[in-house]
């Protein structure tokens, strides 16, 4: 039986989201959330009834049309038109796990009672989530400032009984689903369209999804890096705790600690070395990987604040008896964090590729390109090319999106964050990193075989042994694309406890 997570005012965090997704939990509103939504909706409609002054987006047009007053009988049509007109997404389909996160985060934001939506609207979003009926959303179209307008419009279309949805691997018209479940389309009331479309849930969902992957890949970069350290017969002295306590950046200290744990009891590690020093890509793993950890923690903190915030506009403050039009939909905090995170994750790929390069160079008693009979066999020559190509692409993708801004809505929206573009390219960087680490693992495990009979640590030997079940030692040339794909799948399926992932 599926467990249920109750939406409430309690803070969401990445470990909670990870558990919800991994256990495929259902969502439900807490009594507190139901009360908040009802009170806000009732207050708004009493306000409209008793006060005829213009309130942005409630009885006015939107954007640069904010001074156009809308008649009371047209308020529902105004919100419906908003959703339809803003559904202008293009590009690739948003991945389904991210759509689920968008639904969850939109429900969370509306549950605080500052948005004025009907309870029925939020309950239908819950139906979509729990029945795994996912709106078809495209990854281009948001400027990351007036909220993620285009993506969130596509998220909202099925509420009206229109647009398309994913059912498993198929795309079907929402009308079919509405008929199947006997659902009446939602008739949007005052402000509801704006509450659904204003918000940062596209950026936030991408960001939290990327952060979940980033925590895991940061751990795996350390583990694969440790495997390469023994494969290249490196000195252990650069990982001594004394070195890092005199420059105690949190991530650096943690990385050195992990490398020592991973390589504890390694025969190769304690053996006498011919080389006094190792290349930076090995020796400086704590400093480089550690700086990325600190960046992940910064982004984690930013996104934790965001996913527990109200980001639509205007906001309804019942106790103060006021409705305020502000700018909480502006994605600048996320845009900067996503750019910083993208740069940091690209650096993990950068240093990983350098270790791969060293491993295939015929140094430290290893055969050229890690294969017997080099010349007849090209061995691991070309996977390094592939990694280099990907790293180069990551450098291009790491160019910040947040430094750009393009005026929209006739000058009313004259500064935008471009955080949505930052979000989509950050995911591409992290997916690329996954492949680069897979290639390093292929090389490190192959190189480690040439250290026999000496062994690495029990932990690394176990890790490499599991990997060998999907990618065996290469005696002679074979199609290595198959091995790369298998190595990526191995990394994706590798399970790490949340306590380990988030415990630093």
pLDDT in tens, 223-236: 999 999 999 999 99
Closest residue by Cα to residue 157 from 58, 92, 79, 97: 79
Closest residue by Cα to residue 159 from 176, 182, 184: 184
- 442 and 354 share one domain: yes
The confidence score (pLDDT) of residue 63 equals 65
- 366 and 245 share one domain: yes
d(CA 481, CA 355): 20
- 260 and 148 share one domain: no
Task: Summarize the confidence of residues 195-214 as an average pLDDT.
Answer: 97
What is the span of the domain harbouring residue 174? Answer: 4-199
Q: Which of 6, 43, 56, 114 is catalytic?
A: 56
The yes-or-no verdict on residue 259 having pLDDT over 80 is: yes
- Lowest average pLDDT, out of 151-155, 238-242, 321-325, goes to 321-325
Instruction: Quote the percentage of the chain above a pLDDT of 70.
Output: 98
Paired tokens of 285:
């793993």
Domain closes at, from 151, 175, 199: 199
pLDDT tens, residue by residue, 159-184: 999 999 999 999 999 999 999 999 99
Closest residue by Cα to residue 207 from 143, 301, 140, 290: 301
Total-model pTM:
0.95
3-state secondary structure of 315: strand
- 451 and 309 share one domain: yes
Task: Summarize the confidence of residues 23-39 as an average pLDDT.
Answer: 97
- 312 and 361 share one domain: yes
pLDDT tens, residue by residue, 450-465: 999 999 999 999 999 9
- 284 and 187 share one domain: no
- 184 and 332 share one domain: no
The yes-or-no verdict on residue 116 having pLDDT over 80 is: yes
The confidence score (pLDDT) of residue 53 equals 74
Phi, psi of 60 (to 5 degrees): -130, 170
Q: Average pLDDT of the chain?
A: 95
The yes-or-no verdict on residue 52 having pLDDT over 80 is: no
Given pLDDT bands bounded at 50, 70 and 90, which one contains residue 503?
confident
- 263 and 191 share one domain: no
Given pLDDT bands bounded at 50, 70 and 90, which one contains residue 66?
low
- 149 and 243 share one domain: no
The confidence score (pLDDT) of residue 55 equals 72
The confidence score (pLDDT) of residue 347 equals 98
Tell me if residue 56 is catalytic: yes
The confidence score (pLDDT) of residue 431 equals 98
Top mean pLDDT of 9-18, 68-77, 481-490 is at: 481-490
Task: Summarize the confidence of residues 116-129 as an average pLDDT.
Answer: 97
Number of domains in the chain: 2
Sign of the alpha-carbon torsion through 320, 326, 329, 334: negative
The yes-or-no verdict on residue 70 having pLDDT over 90 is: no
Closest residue by Cα to residue 115 from 310, 304, 307, 309: 310
Closest residue by Cα to residue 350 from 389, 401, 299: 389
The confidence score (pLDDT) of residue 62 equals 67
- 401 and 479 share one domain: yes
Task: Summarize the confidence of residues 110-135 as an average pLDDT.
Answer: 97
Domain closes at, from 184, 199, 214: 199
- 235 and 133 share one domain: no
495: domain CATH number? 1.20.200.10
* CB-CB neighbours of 128 under 10 Å: 22
The confidence score (pLDDT) of residue 76 equals 85
d(CA 52, CA 227): 69
Task: Summarize the confidence of residues 463-486 as an average pLDDT.
Answer: 97
Which residue is it, tokens 């393009």? 406
137: domain CATH number? 1.10.275.10
pLDDT tens, residue by residue, 375-400: 999 999 999 999 999 999 999 999 99
The confidence score (pLDDT) of residue 57 equals 67
- 268 and 367 share one domain: yes
The confidence score (pLDDT) of residue 451 equals 97
The yes-or-no verdict on residue 64 having pLDDT over 80 is: no
The yes-or-no verdict on residue 77 having pLDDT over 80 is: yes
Domain closes at, from 174, 199, 224: 199
């Amino acid at each position: 039986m599926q467990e249920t997570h109750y939406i409430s005012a309690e803070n969401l965090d990445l470990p909670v989201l990870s558990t919800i997704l991994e256990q495929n939990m259902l969502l439900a509103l807490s009594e507190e959330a139901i009360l908040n939504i009802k009170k806000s909706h009732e207050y708004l409609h009493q306000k409209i009834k008793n006060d005829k002054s213009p309130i942005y987006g409630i009885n006015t047009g939107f954007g640069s049309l904010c001074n156009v007053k809308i008649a009371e009988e047209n308020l529902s049509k105004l919100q419906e038109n908003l959703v339809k007109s803003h559904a202008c997404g293009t590009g690739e389909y948003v991945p389904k796990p991210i759509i689920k996160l968008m639904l969850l985060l939109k429900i969370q934001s509306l549950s605080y009672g500052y948005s004025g939506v009907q309870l029925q609207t939020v309950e239908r979003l819950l139906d979509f989530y729990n029945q795994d009926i996912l709106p078809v959303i495209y990854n281009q179209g948001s400027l990351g400032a007036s909220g993620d307008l285009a993506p969130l419009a596509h998220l909202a279309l099925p509420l009206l009984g229109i647009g398309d949805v994913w059912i498993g691997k198929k795309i079907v018209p929402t009308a079919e689903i509405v008929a199947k479940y006997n659902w009446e389309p939602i008739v949007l009331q005052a402000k509801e369209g704006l509450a659904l479309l204003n918000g940062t849930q596209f950026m936030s969902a991408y960001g939290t999804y990327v952060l979940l992957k980033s925590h895991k890949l940061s751990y795996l970069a350390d583990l694969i890096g440790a495997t390469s350290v023994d494969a290249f017969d490196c000195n252990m002295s650069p990982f001594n705790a004394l070195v890092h306590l005199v420059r105690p950046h949190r991530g650096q200290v943690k990385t050195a600690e992990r490398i020592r744990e991973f390589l504890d009891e390694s025969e190769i590690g304690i053996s006498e070395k011919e080389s006094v020093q190792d290349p930076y890509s090995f020796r400086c793993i704590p400093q480089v990987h550690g700086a990325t950890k600190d960046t992940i923690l910064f982004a984690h903190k930013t996104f934790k604040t965001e996913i527990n915030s109200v980001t639509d506009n205007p906001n309804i403050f019942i106790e103060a008896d006021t409705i305020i039009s502000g700018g909480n939909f502006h994605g600048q905090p996320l845009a900067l964090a996503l750019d910083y995170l993208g740069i940091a994750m690209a650096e993990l790929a950068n240093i990983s590729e350098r270790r791969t390069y060293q491993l295939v160079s015929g140094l430290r008693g290893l055969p050229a390109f890690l294969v017997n009979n080099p010349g007849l066999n090209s061995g691991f020559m070309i996977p390094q090319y592939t990694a280099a190509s990907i790293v180069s692409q990551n450098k291009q993708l790491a160019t910040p999106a947040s430094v750009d801004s393009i005026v929209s809505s006739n000058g009313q929206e004259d500064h935008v964050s471009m955080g949505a573009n930052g979000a989509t390219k950050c995911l591409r960087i992290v997916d690329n990193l996954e492949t680069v680490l897979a290639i390093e693992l292929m090389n490190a495990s192959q190189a480690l075989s040439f250290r026999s009979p000496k062994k690495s640590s029990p932990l690394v030997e176990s890790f490499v042994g599991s990997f060998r079940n999907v990618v065996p030692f290469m005696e002679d040339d074979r199609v290595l694309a198959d091995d790369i794909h298998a190595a990526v799948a191995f990394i994706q399926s590798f399970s790490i406890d949340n306590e380990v992932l988030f415990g630093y």
